[in-house]
Every structure is written in structure tokens, then in C-alpha cells.
Amino acid sequence: MTDPQIMLAERVQQALARAFGAEHADADPLIRPSQFADFQANVAMSLAKRLRRAPREVAEAIRAELSDFPGTVEVSGPGFLNITLSDSWVESEATRMLADRRLGVGTITPSQTVVIDYSAPNAAKEMHVGHLRTTIVGDSLARLHEHLGNTVVRQNHLGDWGTPFGMLIEHLLDIGEETSVAQLEAGQGTEFYQAARAKFDSDDAFRQRARVRVTTLQSGDPETLRLWHVFMDATIRYFNKVYELLGVTLTDADLAGESMYNPMLQQTCDDLEASGAATLSEGALCVFPPGFTGSDDKPLPLIIRKSDGGYGYATTDMAAIRYRVHDLKADRILYVVGNEQALHFRMVFAAARLAGWLPETVSAEHVQIGMMLGKDGRRFKTRSGESVKLMDLLQEAVERARGAIADRGYDEATTREIAHAVGMGAVKYADLSVSHDSEYVLDFDRMIAFTGNTGPYMQYATARIRSIFRKAGVDPAEAAGPIALGAPAERALGLYVLGFGELVSQVTAESEPHRLCAFLYQTASLFSTFYDECPVTKEGVDPETRKHRLALCSLVLRVLETGLDLLGVPVPERM
């Protein structure tokens, strides 16, 4: 099937070439959905200036060349082209889409290897709400790329290394392995960290032990490494519980924490220094990527090795980018990380280009994640001012969902299943439906609502279509069509969903899942109008019409389910 806007753009460009010569064939036809027709093309206005002719005259000339067009074209106002597609074109395209397993979603050829760095909680602290969005947005991007046929390499860049591990391991020894493991698995990483920190700040002997432990850890002492593993394994088991609850696609195979790069850091520094990309400045090894200056107009350093010889966050990221390009063979690297790290990533990318580690053919992109705010407009915190535990937030969402469906009369097992899907769907959709780089306010009442652009509304829309099929006693997969679009609400719906394939490609290319949410929401809204105006299973609907309408329902159901799956939003069978 064909995306109407793409088809129109091609037709208008061919008309431009015929009317004004090939050199104008690549002008943007400026096609937009319109309230006066299906679409409006505004290219005549922009072209008229270049051609020094009257816009209306230019529009007329384009229209004359669109004679074999599947629909009608009218010139209106100062030179708008109002375009209405013929019903038969829309019908046959919708019917083709229904028969297409991929619903018009293409595959990228040649396929790319896309490395996606997402989630990346810090092991020394509890996984908090800030890591929720990076996890959910990253996972949706991974699903989108895979759906388009790209090879996705997920990289969970855990914060699992560094000086805090000295005191964490000593604290682990103090309270015992078993107690530590139990605490960490239960998600009490923050309490664990705070207890270690308190001793570090008040107890000289402990501080001394912690310092020594950092050194033995870094020197690769086997017993210390074993203790580090005890700590990490328990922490990762907790992360995995969160991932499982959320239904994200990350597995242990995707773990690529900071510790993994440890053996590469010295080489990273040596190579950067030898190539001249990094230089010593006040004892520290630094890259000064061109174009970065501080407030004092002095070149801004990316510190690769501190003056005390220690490595830092940037060192690891330099090693990681080289590994991703060289070993993982990335064509594209997406860093789904909070927007407060924007400068860090711009400098890492620039330093890697300078070092020749990031060739022009590979794109590195920071998919910036905006901060999650509480209803008071401040950083999301508990009442006592601590950061909110992810697990608590997810459980609250499930509880609230349970409350919202309590009156539906389902048995306990079904209730649990639906509450889980609705709770997670609400949280995930709320994260995804706002553009990833803008801040967003976490508001339970709003995200769990069954109306508006919410997860539960979208889930409800699909469950409602499924119930139409149950009532009709027809399997959605058997509703073969053809699709006929008699009523205006039917036609509007059929025309709109034709844009699905192109939209999914754009959303993937631009890393913008919120536009997929908007598309699905508009689809569900158009479906709602259609269902109000066009009875499907009611008595008195003639069998032909019923068949056409069930086919349209089936198409919409698959668009919604595929779209929600690409977002990672679960779809309960009934609600």
C-alpha cells in the first residue's frame, strides 16, 4: 500500500517537472492535511516567488498536469491546491494494507547496526525514577529499530565501578554477605549506600579500609573481585525484577557496565596521547575538542585521566565509543540519557571524532531525556524529600489500576493480570507520549485515566474492538475485507491509518516515540467517532456492510496493537 502523502508528493513533483522543467522537480510540495479537503499542497506560493509569476497561475499550471490523478484537485484562495483522494483509491489502499502482514511498514535497506545505550542505573544507589524514562524510551527505540529490520545491540551501561565500591565492599563485609544480598535484592541499595557512607564520614578506621579496598579492587585481587560480584549480582537481580515488571526487553546479555571497560582504560589514554588528540594539562590528561569553551573563554577540557592518575566517567565513555564503533560495528549509536549530560556527550562525540574513532559514516546521538517532575513542578521526590523508588512507584501504579477496574467483576487472577497491564501501560505510555527531551510531570490521576491520550485509553480502545469481534463471533484475523468506505467517519478512519508505515519510519529515524503515541491516539479517536456513527454488529446492518466494517475494525485493531507493541505497552485482551 501507499502512504497518501508520499504518493501525493511524488505526483505533485512530477507535475512540477512537466510544468516548469526538471530543475523544479525537487521543490518541497508542502503537503499538509487540510480541513477543506484531504490534503493541501502549498508549493505554488513558494514556487511563484522563484518563478516571478502569480501564485494562482502557478497553481493552475500544476493542476493541469495532475490530470491522471486518483481524486480531485482544486485551486483555491491565493493559490492553494486542495486535494481530495477518490474513495476507490482509499478503499483499495486500505484493503491492500489489510492484506499486508507488515501493515505498510517497510524495512530499512541496507539494514543498519544500531547500538542503543539505555537504562544504565547506578549500582551504588537505588534505581530511581530518573532511570525509568531512559529505560522505557530506550526500549521503545530498540523495538522500533528491530521492527524495521535493523540489528539492535542493547547496551546497559551500568554504573558498576569506581571509588564508592571500596566502602560498599567494606560495609558488605561488616554486615555479612547474606544480609547484604537480602537487602540489595529487596531494592534497598540506597539504604545500603547510606549506611556505608555514614561510616565513611564518621569512622577513620572504616575510611582507611575503604581506601585500601579501592586499590585492591582496582589491582584485580581475586577475593575482592568475588565480593564485588556478590554485591553486583544481587543488585542486578533487583534490576531484573524491575525490568520484568516493566516488560522491557533488556536481558543479562545486554549488560555492559562501566567495569567492562576497565581493562581498556589505560590503552584508551595511551592511544589518545600518542595520536596527539589528548594533551597533559596541569598534570591531567585532557582532550580539548574544538569549539568548546568555558565561561572564561578558555578551551574546555574533557578529562581523560585525572592528575592523581584516576580514570573517570569520560574515560569510560571514550573506551565505550571506540568499542561500539570498532567491535560492535555500529552504524548508529543512540545514548538514551538524561539531558543534564548534554555537554558531556557533545564533548565525548567531538573528542572521538578528533581521535578518528568516530568516522563520519557513524552517527552518535544523545537522545536527551527530560527530568521527571512532581505535581509541584519540582524534581520528583517523596514527601520527606528523598528520591522515589522505582519499585514503589510501579507498585502504586498497579494498585491504582486495580482500583480503577475493581467494579468490573473479574475474578482475582484476571483482575491481577489486567491491573498489571494497565498499571505498567499507564506509566510507560505517560513517559512515551511526551517528547523525550521535555520535562514531564508525573501525575498518577492523569496517567491512569481512561480518557485522553493515556495508556489505559489506548488499551481500552483495543479491548473494545476485540469485544466487537467477540460479539460478532468472528476472529479478527479472518476479517478479510474488502474494505468499503461509505460513511464520512469510515472514510476518515481508513484514510488516516494509511499513514502508519511512513510514520513508523519517521519515528524511528528521528527517535520520537511520542509521535507514534499521537498517531495511535488520533486513530483511536477516529475509531470512536466511526463506532458511534457506523453500527457494525447491530441488528439491521446488512451483511455486506457488516463485513466491510469488520474488515476496517480488524485493520485498526492491528494498527493499534502493532503500534502499542512498538512502544512496549502491553495490551490486555479485555478490560
List residues near ligand ARG by CB under 6 A: 117, 120, 122, 157, 159, 317, 320, 335, 337
Q: Nearest approach, Cβ of 162 to ligand ARG (angstroms)?
A: 10
User: What is the residue-wise DSSP string for 209-257?
Assistant: HHHHHHHHHHTT-HHHHHHHHHHHHHHHHHHHHHHHHHT----GGGB--
User: What is the residue-wise DSSP string for 436-496?
Assistant: TTS-EE--HHHHT-SSSSSHHHHHHHHHHHHHHHHHHT--GGG--------SHHHHHHHHH
Distances (CA, A) of 439 to 430, 465, 549, 569: 12, 34, 41, 21
| Closer residue to ligand ARG, CB minimum distance, 161 or 500 | 161
Q: Nearest approach, Cβ of 388 to ligand ARG (angstroms)?
A: 16
Q: Nearest approach, Cβ of 335 to ligand ARG (angstroms)?
A: 6
Q: Nearest approach, Cβ of 259 to ligand ARG (angstroms)?
A: 12
Q: How many CB atoms lie within 10 A of CB 207?
A: 16
Q: Nearest approach, Cβ of 412 to ligand ARG (angstroms)?
A: 38
| Closer residue to ligand ARG, CB minimum distance, 243 or 335 | 335
> What is the CA 76 to chain-centroid distance, rounded?
40
| Closer residue to ligand ARG, CB minimum distance, 42 or 316 | 316
| Closer residue to ligand ARG, CB minimum distance, 113 or 528 | 113
Q: Nearest approach, Cβ of 320 to ligand ARG (angstroms)?
A: 6
| Closer residue to ligand ARG, CB minimum distance, 288 or 349 | 349
Q: Nearest approach, Cβ of 119 to ligand ARG (angstroms)?
A: 9
| Closer residue to ligand ARG, CB minimum distance, 368 or 462 | 368
Q: Strand 372-373 and strand 363-369: pairing?
A: unpaired
| Closer residue to ligand ARG, CB minimum distance, 20 or 165 | 165
CA distance 372 to 129: 8
CA distance 139 to 157: 14
| Closer residue to ligand ARG, CB minimum distance, 320 or 495 | 320
Q: Strand 302-305 and strand 284-287: pairing?
A: antiparallel
| Closer residue to ligand ARG, CB minimum distance, 38 or 117 | 117
Residue from 137, 199, 197 nearest 427 by CA: 137
Q: Strand 80-85 and strand 113-117: pairing?
A: unpaired
Which of helix, strand or coil describes residue 345?
helix
| Cβ-contact 565, 142 below 8 angstroms | no
| Closer residue to ligand ARG, CB minimum distance, 81 or 348 | 348
> CB burial class (10 A; 0-12, 13-18, 19+) of residue 508?
buried
CA distance 7 to 85: 11
User: What is the residue-wise DSSP string for 126-191?
Assistant: --BTHHHHHHHHHHHHHHHHHHTTPEEEEEB--B--STHHHHHHHHHHHH-HHHHHHHHHTT-HHH
Q: Nearest approach, Cβ of 569 to ligand ARG (angstroms)?
A: 24
Q: CB-based contacts of 453: which residues, under 8 Å, 6+ apart?
A: 433, 517, 518, 521
Q: Nearest approach, Cβ of 470 to ligand ARG (angstroms)?
A: 45
Q: Nearest approach, Cβ of 158 to ligand ARG (angstroms)?
A: 7
> CB burial class (10 A; 0-12, 13-18, 19+) of residue 13?
middle
| Closer residue to ligand ARG, CB minimum distance, 206 or 311 | 311
Q: Nearest approach, Cβ of 514 to ligand ARG (angstroms)?
A: 21
